[in-house]
Chain A
Amino acid sequence: MASRRSSEPRRADPGRPDDHIDAEPVERGDAVLPKLGPAGFARFVWRQLTSMRTALVLLLLLALASVPGSLVPQRSSDPNGVLQFQARDPEGYAILDALGLFSTFSSPWFSAIYLLLFVSLIGCIIPRTKHHLDALRARPPKTPARLSRLVGFTTAHTAADPETAVAAARRVLKSQGYRVERYGDSISAERGYLRETGNLIFHTALVGVLAAVGIGGAFGFTGQRLLVEGEPFTNVKADYDSFTGGPWVDPTDPQLDPYSLRLDSFDDEYAFDPNTGVWHPLDYVAHMSVRERGGQWQDASIQVNSPLEIAGTQVYLLGNGYAPILTVRNADGDEVFHQAVPFLVLDGNMMSAGVVKVPDGLGAQVGMDGLFYPDAFTRGDSDLIQSFSPRVTDNALLTLRVYRGDLGLTDGSGGNVYTLDTTDMEELAGNNDPVVLRPGETVDLPDGLGTIEFEGIARFVGLDIHHDPTQGWVLGFALAAVFGLLTSLFIPRRRMWIKAVADDGTTRLEYAGLARGEDHALPDAVAEVARAHAEMLPETAT
């Protein structure tokens, strides 16, 4: 590694990759590689992997590889979008799916890029940390023989003798935060070690973020539960509507803390905009009761932007709606179904769709699907019903289509409580003659099946429950990265020299600096040191 200009104090920095702009340039032979043994080859590969150029290319690849994740719906963030894509274009779906584009960020190629990047990063951090630890203990380097080729070279003459000048130089540089060392009649000084410290903290913190995210994903879980007013929920896996645990969470027994939740009431607030006829939501509050294991029920509330923290989990309010309370009786008057049925919201005015499944008690299996309008109205003489507002008024209305036949419960196709598969069913009441109900009413079901009563309306909330054991760590590492970034970008690392040379009865002073990394203010800094030095010495002129 012979340097072409070894006589000069280059900005050489052995801790850096060869192609770093501040590193000693490596004399490269011809492009033909010398014969390498396995160890030599490994060293060659390692050096390539940890070079700046590789890191840069991997960074750019990472950016490029992320883009498809925004163009194609992702299973993680938009599962319905993936299903819609599949329905719309099955062939394209097969191709994109084979490429892993629906799970871009967990695909092998994306993982390969960021893992290589982090290996490269670690390969950079370790030698640089070692080098920096040495540098922290080292004394500032010897004063170069010729300062004139360095940044901001300035000279001055003083009447003071060299000894006084050097003593003053030491004080000036020390007071400006430099680490100083005397070599002969000169002071060598260095400052800004925090720049490299910050750089290492930043990069190490990024590794920390990645590790914490990985561990959090492995041990964390996320679950959804739709909770109707009054209904209790206990934090055990069986009580979730859907539950996704990380790979290290036991899928059969995820070891949850069995606290309980109950929705007592739900408040919403809207403002009507007379110009546009739109109701704007202002506030949602779920008033809950919470009981930790072995404790008493306590009041709590959940709002958007204000989740409930309990037993290492966060409970988020992500949705709400109406659940008509319905009772179905057979022709003999026996109750065969009684439930508050959650209807999922379709539009901003809370028109909602839901399904009722009555497997037993009516002779054959009966299914109903329909729409709930909290504030129903029809425009002009149109038959089309809409909801005028999201609030329940006297105009609240429920319309149901009724089917008889096979609900598909035995073969599993009817498992989803929000959809009704009517392929094996006979329509008894369709869009033209639906069963229409207002709250409090009881009407006959078609074909003498019995009756259905619309007792009232309950509220429900959609809750997301998360457990992420490392999210605090992720935040901590992220903040450490910011600290490292700020210091590594804005603290200048520089060397400074002041030399005193006896010169015909007076003393000639020389000042110069050397930047290590980006340092725009170095010439000014040298000038400032010279000025401060001159102030301490009598009869000094530049």
Chain B
Amino acid sequence: MTATLAAWSLVGVYSAAAVYLIAFVMFAVDLAKRSDEAPVEVASAAATRHGGSVLVEAPAAPPAVESGSRSARVALALTAVGLAVHTAAIVLRGVAAERVPWANMFEFALTGTGIIVAVFVFANLWKDLRFLGAYVTGLVVLLLTAATVNFYVDVVPLPPPLQSAWLVIHVLVAIIGTGFFALGAGLSIVQLIQSRREAGKITRAGFLRTVPSSTVLERLAYRVNVIGFVLWTFTLICGSIWAERAWGRYWGWDTKEVWTFVIWVVFAGYIHARATRGWRGSRSAILAIIGFAAVLFNFTIVNLFFKGLHAYSGL
């Protein structure tokens, strides 16, 4: 029974990855189309709409290409379909294992990529972020496929150290935080490219004309990253409480703890940079990207090659 469910879960994983791949292609097509069709610097249309009122720092609404091309709409819909299949795969894995589906490296990747997509899809209800679709689906296809091919393990019982309610909380919060950091890093990357274009250093990549200004992107990135930072703070504290229960100390500079700390400090630096004259803008964006790179490093390299107590990759 367990094996059957796990096998169906795996079918779901590959199906979701395939759907994401198609979505990725559609998002890429959309970006290419934007490059072709982008109007030449339409003056911000939003400012004139509110007659009489002058908006200081008017949120420069992206000169909408009729609310996104057809391919962008299809791509986002496909991403949502992929997410549904992905969610089913995660749930099946959990049912098969009779526990939360994030107790080894394959499962972290499975659930983590699902959360990244979920954060992206739900963020689109809030703001039109479809220009990040190619980044998100590309990243997720890569991570999900690589993790499944390299790290897949059968369902095994939880070792005693992991038998704790903190597994549910600590790891889940870390994964959700990662989802927000992933989106934030995407926004920061586009922000960097956009600010180069605004400085006249990039003349190609016309799709950037359909993307919000670097200031708006920075503000969006900040709001997303700040949520990630709060979640990461929770991760640290929950992890400490659990470490005290399981290992007899709340903090011991285990390699994973070191990296969790480093990531926390980098994002703390990012938040300070945003409030420091001369650091707002590209410099703080680079910090956010470094922070997310450290998250990925922590998940991959530290898990696989560094010796430490968090040795639960299951490999």
Contact of A485 among B233, B245, B258, B274 (CB under 8 A): B233
A81 near B53: Cβ-Cβ < 8 Å: no
Asked whether B307 is an interface residue with its Cβ less than 8 Å from the other chain, the reply is: yes
Asked whether B68 is an interface residue with its Cβ less than 8 Å from the other chain, the reply is: no
Chain B positions within 8 Å of A281 at CB level: 159-160
Q: A residues bordering B, Cβ < 8 Å? A: 19-23, 25, 52-53, 55-56, 59-60, 62-63, 66-67, 69-71, 73-74, 76-78, 81, 104-105, 148-155, 213, 222, 271, 273, 275-276, 278, 280-284, 303-307, 314, 316, 318, 464, 466, 468, 471, 474-475, 478-479, 481-482, 485-486, 489, 518, 520, 523, 542
A55 to B156, CA, bound (A): 47
Chain B positions within 8 Å of A62 at CB level: 265
Q: With A318-B248, A520-B223 given, is the CB distance from A53 to B234 under 8 Å?
A: no
Q: Which B residue sits closest to A542, measured CB to CB?
A: B52
Q: List 6 A-B contacts (CB under 8 A).
A: A21-B276, A21-B280, A63-B265, A149-B56, A152-B53, A305-B245
Q: With A81-B307, A273-B156, A305-B161 given, is the CB distance from A52 to B275 under 8 Å?
A: yes
Q: With A62-B265, A74-B253, A154-B53 given, is the CB distance from A478 to B240 under 8 Å?
A: yes
Chain B positions within 8 Å of A52 at CB level: 272, 275-277
Q: Which A residue sits closest to B57, measured CB to CB?
A: A151
Asked whether B7 is an interface residue with its Cβ less than 8 Å from the other chain, the reply is: no
Q: Which B residue sits closest to A515, measured CB to CB?
A: B57
A481 to B56, CA, bound (A): 34
A19 near B258: Cβ-Cβ < 8 Å: no
Which secondary structure characterizes the binding site on chain A? mixed
Contact of B258 among A53, A66, A151, A278 (CB under 8 A): A66
Asked whether B150 is an interface residue with its Cβ less than 8 Å from the other chain, the reply is: no
A466 near B57: Cβ-Cβ < 8 Å: no
Asked whether B55 is an interface residue with its Cβ less than 8 Å from the other chain, the reply is: yes
A193 to B163, CA, bound (A): 43
Chain B positions within 8 Å of A314 at CB level: 244, 248
Interface residues on B, range: 35 or more
Contact of A152 among B56, B250, B268, B276 (CB under 8 A): B56
Inter-chain CB contacts under 8 Å: number = 159
- Residue interface mask B27-52, A partner, CB < 8 A = 1: 00000000000000000000000001
Chain A positions within 8 Å of B124 at CB level: none
Q: With A52-B276, A66-B265, A471-B244 given, is the CB distance from A153 to B54 under 8 Å?
A: yes
- Min CB–CB distance A534 → chain B (angstroms): 14
- Min CB–CB distance B46 → chain A (angstroms): 11
B222 near A482: Cβ-Cβ < 8 Å: no
Chain A positions within 8 Å of B253 at CB level: 69, 74, 76-77, 104-105
Instruction: Please provide the 10 A-B residue pairs with the shortest distance between their CB atoms, ordered closest to farther.
Output: A316-B248, A52-B276, A70-B258, A304-B160, A59-B269, A63-B265, A70-B255, A464-B248, A305-B164, A19-B277
A66 to B307, CA, bound (A): 16
Q: Which A residue sits closest to B291, measured CB to CB?
A: A63
B268 near A304: Cβ-Cβ < 8 Å: no
Q: B residues bordering A, Cβ < 8 Å? A: 52-57, 59, 154, 156-161, 163-164, 219, 222-223, 226, 229-230, 233-234, 237, 240-242, 244-255, 258-259, 261-262, 265-266, 268-269, 272-280, 287, 302, 306-309
Chain A positions within 8 Å of B272 at CB level: 52, 55-56, 59
A94 to B315, CA, bound (A): 34
Q: Which A residue sits closest to B244, measured CB to CB?
A: A471
A511 to B279, CA, bound (A): 32
A78 to B159, CA, bound (A): 21
A486 near B230: Cβ-Cβ < 8 Å: yes
B163 near A520: Cβ-Cβ < 8 Å: no
A479 to B233, CA, bound (A): 10
Chain A positions within 8 Å of B248 at CB level: 222, 307, 314, 316, 318, 464, 466
A60 to B262, CA, bound (A): 9
B265 near A20: Cβ-Cβ < 8 Å: no
Chain A positions within 8 Å of B53 at CB level: 152-155, 542
A66 near B55: Cβ-Cβ < 8 Å: no
Chain B positions within 8 Å of A520 at CB level: 219, 223
B269 near A60: Cβ-Cβ < 8 Å: yes
Chain B positions within 8 Å of A304 at CB level: 160-161, 163, 246
B237 near A478: Cβ-Cβ < 8 Å: yes
Q: With A53-B276, A76-B253 given, is the CB distance from A70 to B306 under 8 Å?
A: yes
Q: Which A residue sits closest to B153, measured CB to CB?
A: A276
A67 to B265, CA, bound (A): 12
A20 near B275: Cβ-Cβ < 8 Å: yes
Q: With A19-B278, A66-B258 given, is the CB distance from A482 to B307 under 8 Å?
A: no
Q: Which A residue sits closest to B251, measured CB to CB?
A: A213
A475 to B229, CA, bound (A): 18
Q: With A76-B253, A283-B160, A489-B226 given, is the CB distance from A56 to B276 under 8 Å?
A: yes
A56-B279, A69-B253, A281-B160 known; 12 other A-B pairs, CB under 8 Å? A19-B276, A22-B275, A56-B273, A59-B265, A59-B272, A77-B309, A303-B160, A307-B245, A316-B247, A475-B240, A481-B233, A485-B230
Chain B positions within 8 Å of A468 at CB level: 249
B156 near A280: Cβ-Cβ < 8 Å: yes
Chain B positions within 8 Å of A273 at CB level: 154, 156
Q: With A52-B276, A60-B269 given, is the CB distance from A77 to B245 under 8 Å?
A: no
- Min CB–CB distance A59 → chain B (angstroms): 4
A281 to B157, CA, bound (A): 8
